Chains A and B, each alone.
Chain A
Amino acid sequence: MTRFVGRLVLAAAALAASTALATAGTTTGPNGETAVPAASVTLTPEQEAKIREGHYTAGLAWHTPSDYTAAVDRGAKDEFERLGIEVVAESDAGFDPAKQKNDVETMMAKKPTIILSLPVDPDTAAEVYRPALEAGTKVAFVDNAPKGFVQGTDYVTIVSDDLFQMGEKAADAMAAAIGGKGKVGYLFHDANFYVTNQRDGAFKETIETRYPDIEIVAEMGLADPAKAEDVINAFMLKNPDLDAVYVTWAEPAEFVLAALRNNGDDHTRIVTLDLSEPLALDMVKDGNVAAIVADEAYAIGQTLARAAAASLVGEKLEPFYAVDAIAVTKDNIEDGWFKSLHREPPASLTGG
């Protein structure tokens, strides 16, 4: 949960710079860049050999610790290891842009060839990465780039998750869970955050265009995550006979699950985004949760590392790459969990 709430805070700052919000059918970057599939970043064996010969080094300057950061971190490190690039420094800013600036400055003492980072505050981040730029270090970002930086000259690229695909897959998973027809509820994030807006919008659009027999009969916005529980209790009380509910992310979905359990409701299915152990546990025990859609966080790190390495051998890169999303259900829980976080799922989900 820290992962998502954390990124909400980041998104708040990103908003200032972001001009393009959800557009139909595609994911766009913070500045309206078109998303290119992450899988398209590839290296030829010759390029890889050349990179290995370079004995390059890398620093990783993350924003805050979480499941998500850990998965991105593992993806980047594994890819660097494969390419013979040594990770010489790693840091965590704890959401503090001043700390992130210190971290990057400190890393520069080791003169890394590459720095991968998720900027805490795009508005003030230009100063954070300036020492790296001046030293000629290649910088590549997760999710967002510093305001005023130009892709291709100042930084390599941005890699993020495919927000539209996440919402779309949530809609497909819900349709599968209720047999393609029924009355459903829609709990969206009622705030101007491009991450949640794109995901929620994609879900709604997919249901409306792809599933004519599914009707959204009730919808409600969650403005303040801290007050989600009250809103959800009222919503579930007013709509007792839903076949399924879409919830904008895992934490409020946990409240929905609690409300359903209180009412003794074992009919209504839940579909939500971002992995959460309590929800997954309910899912494997055939409870209310039908599917959890996750992004391939590991692949974000992997792609980012590969893209940065590619830039060292003169490869031209697109400004914005997005990784795939996976709908995790009871049937693919081990596989899905591993694909997203590159880690075995918690023992509670596989042991029993």
Chain B
Amino acid sequence: MAGKLAQLRSVDPSQYIVYVGFVLILIGFSIVLRDDGFLTTRNLLNIVQQTTPVTIMAVGMVFVLTAGEIDLSIGPIVAVSALLASLVLRESFWPLGAAVGLLAGAAIGAVNGVLVAYVRLPSFLVTLATMGFLSGVARWITDLQSVPITNDTFNAIFGAGSLFGVPSLLIWTVAIVLVGHFFYHETRYGAHVHAIGDSAHSARAVGIKVDRVRFSVMVLSGVAAGLAGLLYAGRLHGARYTLGETDLLTVIAAVIVGGTRLNGGVGTIFGALIGSLLMGLLNNGLILMGLSVSEQLMVRGLIILAAIALTLREARR
């Protein structure tokens, strides 16, 4: 009995409050927008598909934040990966284009990782610098020109296609969230990510290869952003240097609202998914409510603030 009580008490409220908020907002919109096409399958599916790249970057960011680091460079990684993939797709077949996009993300993540884990610079500053540098690279690669993608297979796999009637973006969301959840919660690697973000010193003392894990989470985040770049490119049938530019704050907001702590050691993948869907839900619902752009921005800001206040206030004891 006492054990059960302790078990209940040890569940951190910040881990489930996002679900409550999500359901409340969903119900709210369903009532207010009942005549506006909000509750149609098409519209709800739109929300999931529109948030897929953010969800995938959020999964990467949960690993990074849990390990006690941060990755500010994901936005321009999206653009660089999408542009490189679409350039390759002009000349070559789609698996190579996709591989180049992912490898670009991995390579950039590896540079971040080496600087953070082995040169031992703070990830905030390292990725702030790579973010600036990569924004330049994204503009330079094609001299601000957009690159169209005419490969139908690529556009179907990473964009509007479907498998047995299930939209491919929905499949990507489910697959990445499940794989991310498995590694984060169910493996020794995930346990080590938690441990180094909680106390790098303690993790080192018990023999965890702290530097290696730090390096790996930065690579992971780079690959996630690279995949997000492919998904944007597949959706738009082309790439442009501004892709991903505004995603960083959305990703961080989704992850934090979802119950992952900015200072490491604690997080959840499903929470990040719900946080990301919440962001998409807000965009969608506020537009459908017919609010002006200024009103949308204000309402969204207030709701995110409220969500973060609840999450973090509950967490502090």
Contacts and interface: CB of A to CB of B under 8 A. Distances in A.
Contacts of A111: 37
A229 interface: no
B146 interface: yes
B237 A94 contact: no
A94 B296 CA distance: 13
A90 B291 contact: yes
A89 B283 contact: no
A110 B292 CA distance: 16
B240 A13 contact: yes
A101 interface: yes
B287 A13 contact: no
B240 A97 contact: yes
Interface in B36-54: 36-38, 40, 42-43, 46, 50, 53
A89 B237 contact: no
B135 interface: no
A87 B291 CA distance: 10
A98 B236 contact: yes
A226 to B, nearest CB: 13
B236 A96 contact: no
Contacts of B236: 97-98, 101, 124, 127-128
A171 B119 CA distance: 59
A103 interface: yes
A217 interface: no
Nearest to B40: A109
Given A13-B145, A87-B290, A91-B293, A109 B38 contact: yes
Contact of B287 (A16, A91, A101): A91
B25 to A, nearest CB: 15
A341 to B, nearest CB: 16
Interface residues of A, number: 35
A101 B245 CA distance: 15
Interface in A85-128: 87-92, 94-99, 101-103, 105-107, 109-111, 120-121, 123-124, 126-128
A212 to B, nearest CB: 40
Nearest to A94: B246
A90 B246 contact: no
A109 B43 contact: yes
B291 to A, nearest CB: 7
A105 B246 contact: no
A109 B145 contact: no
B237, B244, B296: which has the most chain A beta carbons within 10 Å? B237
Contact of A127 (B42, B53, B237, B288): B237
B242 A97 contact: yes
A37 interface: no
A90 B242 contact: no
A98 B243 contact: yes
B245 A96 contact: yes
A48 to B, nearest CB: 23
Given A13-B144, A101-B235, A102-B283, A89 B288 contact: yes
B235 A121 contact: no
Contacts of B43: 106, 109
A106 B287 contact: yes
Interface string A1-42: 000000001001100100000000000000000000000000
B161 interface: no
A103 B40 CA distance: 16
Given A124-B240, A128-B236, A13 B146 contact: yes
Nearest to B38: A109
Nearest to B233: A124
B288 A106 contact: yes
Interface in B3-46: 36-38, 40, 42-43, 46
Given A16-B145, A97-B242, A109-B38, A124 B237 contact: yes
B151 interface: no
Given A95-B245, A98-B243, A105 B50 contact: yes
B145 A124 contact: no
A97 B247 CA distance: 12
Given A16-B145, A123-B146, A126-B237, 8 more contacts: A90-B290, A97-B240, A99-B246, A109-B46, A123-B147, A124-B146, A127-B237, A127-B238
Interface of A: 9, 12-13, 16, 62, 65, 87-92, 94-99, 101-103, 105-107, 109-111, 120-121, 123-124, 126-128, 147
28 contacts: A9-B144, A88-B36, A88-B290, A89-B287, A91-B293, A96-B242, A97-B236, A101-B235, A102-B46, A102-B50, A102-B280, A105-B46, A106-B287, A107-B287, A109-B36, A109-B37, A109-B38, A109-B40, A110-B36, A110-B288, A123-B148, A123-B238, A124-B236, A124-B238, A124-B239, A127-B159, A127-B235, A128-B236
